[in-house]
Chains A and B, each alone.
Chain A
């Protein structure tokens, strides 16, 4: 999830797209990824290299290749939509790609980046999500067993405050900086004119580039990424809610997708001379008449529709009371005799 808008927050989009790219490289398909980008950097009018988003200076790596599927874009990235995706309370018309269809065996990785503070993360410069809301959303997910294990990574200023309030089991959290510290950005690119990546994500990506789908690297190595000397901020992590030992948790458990597979040893013996249900199938087809498109759409009704009249409600009690108070005070202070000048 990238929560920041505007051209100077290029690095947040680049962060998110880089993590997206690593996760896809390690095997997770698009149908299992929900990508939320709050602004479109590749086609931004200020982008000197349109249709690209670079994550290394000197334009080494274009992370906005031709295989990026953004599920929530631009103004659709709101706190409400984010919480709806997590808890599953989505309107029924939402397509499959915008939903989190996870069950009790799914390991979920959540990566968030943007501008944050002590206990909140800013969405789109107009709203915030607090750590309490996030913890409650995770609890709702746990109640419905929407995850088996959850890894939460956040790269913002004071990021550690976001995972302080978690209380559901099986959550591991990583943040780029402690409370009171700022997370810094990595490299400005003079050709594009903005900072391209944040430090924490940059070093996490360097770490991930060495992981391949069969790798046995565990979580403790991820915790060591980006020490203070490189990152200036102190990355933090939280594993007390997690039931397994982080040493035994593989990176590919969250970043890649390795399935449990069994060899099929049995077969069913089928009788090959069965005629089958073909006749039933054909009969069904003949019964329905083809419907013309125009008949299904009540065009006449739509064209001649009058605008719906909104019912008029008298002003509510609070407003009335306030106005009464103001008027009364006005006339009391200035005297009733002035009223006859008004009328």
Chain B
């Protein structure tokens, strides 16, 4: 297969508000422009990814002007939302005058919940273009996010922490919420997990349903202890878990966590640990020794753990067990933040003068969803091309493997889907490209992992000879000798009549 060239096309609109048009524009508004860049992940191996931003510069319409006249950036964003292009993958950037009061002081870019941003015009055209470039990188994809997607082709040391956290693209994920109660004699813990899932988790998963299928389970485990004994700290009269003992906490617990026997999707575990009465309150310490305010930690590609401290009862004579009602909102805030991080959606690498609107109950902004989709699409295309290449190599090596019809049709379908995914990407249709790439991955995985392709089942020719010759050669010796005798006799008989005459 030739190396796959992938071109990521982002359709963008840059809208200039009144008084924000910079001098020195190359052409009068409205006009189109293209910017192409190569994203080099790994020079030697495919796919080679280039990005193309198709920008349409125009000035605001009357409705947009009215929306931009709002008091705060958030209201402006909400008012602008119905006027925008909302297809997946597109961006709209509104440029407001440098001195506009729409954005707070010191903030030059405001990124909204949907697919738009408000940018200050900046002193000059060059400054504006630099800012535009930064905004588009934050909102769509950067070289490092594409590198994260292709992380199994890049040596581990070169990845940013964001990239190392990245969950592999999969058709579905299983999310398991577990409540660990090591001390049921002291605490009877009640958590309204069903309500919390419906209220807080479902909106996020519905938004992410475009990316993959999610299934949610929950369980309560009793007498499950952490593998590490926390230290008692006299100053704060609390127990502390230091940062370097955290990696050893997960394994003893994992042995007790079940997972659904039927599904093969990766599992994300979110554990809520209520410490024993003798170890309360329990705080997690970070590397500098300060207690972490979320009291939680997470492990890439696995999930997260949060420690929920129960208030010590006021009077020591209170009867055990103490009833505890878990504040699900606080818990879900942490778990959903961890879920975002596990998917690679952190906001750490954003420049300081950017103000990012919080995503609210939906869990992630539209442009973050796009971010995920770009990364997953590129990853899917890369996976399909390696899978099909290695399948072709396998078939070359073992010439007499029998390819069943359905395996062949899956391979054809995978090739067709990946071609259409690349085409759709070059046209800027992110949604169609993502769906095509998902189909391509499903087909190629089904073809590659088909049970009939086991190379053990197909003998090379030399093994066939090696087995049958020792069996048939001794048997064939008398037959061949007899044949030779027959041939000799026939020849003699042919000669004799002539001799007799």
Interface residues of A (CB under 8 A from B): 27-31, 79-80, 83-84, 87-91, 95-97, 99, 101, 103-105, 133, 136, 140, 143-145, 148, 213-214, 256-272, 274-278, 281, 325-326, 329, 332-333
Q: Is B442 an interface residue (CB 8 A)?
A: no
Interface residues of B (CB under 8 A from A): 151-152, 156, 161, 164-165, 168, 195, 198-200, 202-203, 227, 243, 246-248, 250-252, 254-255, 259-264, 284, 286, 292-294, 296-302, 304, 306, 329, 332-334, 336-338, 340-341, 346-347, 358-361, 363, 386-387, 390, 393-394, 397, 448-451, 453-457, 479, 482-483, 485-486
Question: Shortest CB–CB separation between residue B373 and chain A, in angstroms?
Answer: 20
Tell me, in angstroms, the Cα distance from A329 to B358 when the chains sit together.
92
Q: Determine whether the beta carbon of B248 is less than 8 Å from that of A263.
A: no
> A80 with B300: in contact, given A213-B248, A270-B336 (CB under 8 Å)?
no
> A133 with B456: in contact, given A144-B390, A270-B361, A329-B483 (CB under 8 Å)?
yes
Question: Shortest CB–CB separation between residue A340 and chain B, in angstroms?
Answer: 20
Contacts of A260 in B (CB 8 A): 164, 247, 299-300
- Across the interface, A262 reaches (CB within 8 A) one of B168, B299, B332, B336, namely B299
Contacts of B198 in A (CB 8 A): 276-278, 281
Q: How many A-B residue pairs have CB under 8 A?
A: 174
Q: Determine whether the beta carbon of B390 is less than 8 Å from that of A31.
A: no
Contacts of B161 in A (CB 8 A): 262
- Across the interface, B449 reaches (CB within 8 A) one of A30, A88, A96, A261, namely A88
Chain A contact residues: helix, strand, loop or mixed: loop
Question: Shortest CB–CB separation between residue A316 and chain B, in angstroms?
Answer: 14
User: 6 closest Cβ contacts across the A-B interface?
Assistant: A276-B199, A143-B390, A27-B251, A29-B255, A104-B152, A267-B333
Q: Determine whether the beta carbon of A264 is less than 8 Å from that of B292.
A: yes
Contacts of B156 in A (CB 8 A): 148
Which residue, of B251, B297, B386, B393, has the highest number of chain A Cβ atoms within 10 A? B251
Tell me, in angstroms, the Cα distance from A224 to B439 when the chains sit together.
50
Chain B contact residues: helix, strand, loop or mixed: helix
Q: Determine whether the beta carbon of B259 is less than 8 Å from that of A27.
A: no
Q: Determine whether the beta carbon of A262 is less than 8 Å from that of B298.
A: yes
Contacts of B453 in A (CB 8 A): 89
Q: Determine whether the beta carbon of B243 is less than 8 Å from that of A263.
A: yes
Question: Shortest CB–CB separation between residue A262 and chain B, in angstroms?
Answer: 6
Which residue, of A104, A144, A263, has the highest number of chain B Cβ atoms within 10 A? A263
Question: Shortest CB–CB separation between residue B461 and chain A, in angstroms?
Answer: 15
Tell me, in angstroms, the Cα distance from A258 to B228 when the chains sit together.
13
Q: Determine whether the beta carbon of B251 is less than 8 Å from that of A31.
A: no
Q: Determine whether the beta carbon of B451 is less than 8 Å from that of A271.
A: no
Tell me, in angstroms, the Cα distance from A28 to B255 when the chains sit together.
8
- Across the interface, B341 reaches (CB within 8 A) one of A29, A79, A145, A264, namely A264
Tell me, in angstroms, the Cα distance from A78 to B312 when the chains sit together.
57
Question: Shortest CB–CB separation between residue B411 and chain A, in angstroms?
Answer: 15
Q: Determine whether the beta carbon of B482 is less than 8 Å from that of A329.
A: yes
Q: Determine whether the beta carbon of A84 is less than 8 Å from that of B454.
A: yes
Look across to chain A and name the residue whose beta carbon is closest to the beta carbon of B252. A27
Q: Determine whether the beta carbon of B254 is less than 8 Å from that of A29.
A: yes
Q: Determine whether the beta carbon of A101 is less than 8 Å from that of B264.
A: yes
Contacts of B449 in A (CB 8 A): 87-90
Question: Shortest CB–CB separation between residue A167 and chain B, in angstroms?
Answer: 12
Tell me, in angstroms, the Cα distance from A242 to B263 when the chains sit together.
33
- Across the interface, A264 reaches (CB within 8 A) one of B152, B262, B304, namely B304
Contacts of A84 in B (CB 8 A): 451, 454
